[in-house]
Amino acid sequence: MSRPGPTTRARVRELSGGTARDRRDTLATEEPLEVRVQSPEGVRTVAITMRTPGHDFDLAAGFLHGEGLVEPGRITAIGYCTDDDVEPEARYNVVTVRIDGPLPDLPGLDRHFLTSSACGVCGSASLAALRHRCAPVVADELRITPEVLYGLPGKLRAAQGVFGKTGGLQAAGLFTAGGEPVAAREDVGRHNAVDKLVGWSALTGRLPLESHLLMVSGRASYEIMQKALAARVPVVCAVGAPSSLAVDLARDFGMTLVGFLRGERCNVYAGMDRVVTG
């Protein structure tokens, strides 16, 4: 079976005023991805998420790390699934992560998928649970200027090759404290794009990311902040607004959170001491 790509061609009828014309359009591909974990104890499904195909192994590794399920050092191999229970046409939509030791503790896995550590609980409970496995981000020496912040959206946009063709993808970019691009990933979901970045960092030995900035298109949610915290990213910037729980998380864990970063304007919601003005 052919491997799905990040874009899909489709026929559309374009209406403009009183005229119509048929043409072909390019869409962002959306396909499910099932993540399985295999150990000497057996195999279990831990997540099913909708994603844009590409960097699937990074996505799986980043998800497992961000949720505190599997540390990168325990991963021995990652591959597309060839088990008999997977239909040939679906094999590029199922990733198996092989680990040493026991299977991770997966509370609430009766439904056979885990969508988020925040599922089914209130915000304060989510933060309390996070405190048990994550320490605050220190990064005392890190300082950034407004000029660095103002340059991030344009640099992220320049790295969005698939977005330029489809207009339908979110993105996450990793930058140095000086604003130099390190890596960028695209997906239909911002959280998937962040997972792909974190997974790439984990599999290439770059974690922790205590001297880096994370820039995301759209808004900053609790889930985005949680994944950044697990990767030890001290500064998260977003084109859109943050949620209230994202701000609470940033303040609780010593992170800098920047929202509404557009042109030469932004709001700093937490960690203001890292942004040097004047």
Question: Which has the higher per-residue pLDDT, 41 or 6?
Answer: 41
pLDDT band of residue 138 (cuts 50, 70, 90) is: confident
Domain stop point among 104, 120, 136: 120
Q: Which of 58, 76, 67 is nearest to 199 (CA)?
A: 58
Same domain membership, residue 268 and residue 166: yes
| Each residue's pLDDT tens digit, 76-85 | 999 998 777 7
Q: Is 36 within 8 Å of 44 (Cβ atoms)?
A: yes
Q: List the catalytic residue out of 81, 119, 122, 237.
A: 119
Query: Residue 237: what pLDDT?
Result: 96
Same domain membership, residue 102 and residue 184: no
Distance CA 248, CA 244 (A): 6
Entry pTM:
0.79
57 annotated ligand binder: no
Query: Could you give the percent of the chain with pLDDT greater than 70?
Result: 87
Residue 245: phi and psi, rounded to 5, are: -70, -30
Same domain membership, residue 165 and residue 84: no
> What three-state secondary structure class fits 270?
strand
Domain stop point among 86, 120, 154: 120
- Residue type at 106 in one-letter notation: L
Q: Region 197-207: what's the mean pLDDT?
A: 96
Residue 264 lies in a domain: yes
Q: Region 12-17: what's the mean pLDDT?
A: 66
| Each residue's pLDDT tens digit, 163-182 | 556 556 789 999 999 999 99
Residue 1 lies in a domain: no
Domain stop point among 82, 105, 120: 120
Total residue count of the chain as it appears in this document: 278
pLDDT band of residue 56 (cuts 50, 70, 90) is: very high
The percent of the chain in helix, strand and coil, each rounded to the nearest 5, is 30, 35, 35
Residue 109 lies in a domain: yes
Query: Residue 62: what pLDDT?
Result: 95
13 annotated ligand binder: no
Total structural domains in the chain? 2
261 annotated ligand binder: yes
Residue 33 has pLDDT above 50, yes or no: yes
24 annotated ligand binder: no
Q: Region 200-215: what's the mean pLDDT?
A: 96
Q: Which domain holds residue 219?
A: 146-274
Same domain membership, residue 193 and residue 110: no
Distance CA 52, CA 203 (A): 20
122 is annotated as an active-site residue: no
Residue 225 lies in a domain: yes
Q: How many helices (H) and strands (E) does the chain have?
A: 7, 12
Same domain membership, residue 74 and residue 181: no
Residue 178 lies in a domain: yes
Same domain membership, residue 109 and residue 168: no
Q: Region 31-35: what's the mean pLDDT?
A: 86
Query: Residue 125: what pLDDT?
Result: 67
Residue 128 lies in a domain: no
**Integer CA distances (angstroms), 99 to 52, 75, 86, 213, in order:** 25, 4, 20, 29
CA 83 to chain centre: 27
Same domain membership, residue 152 and residue 115: no
Q: Is 41 within 8 Å of 102 (Cβ atoms)?
A: yes
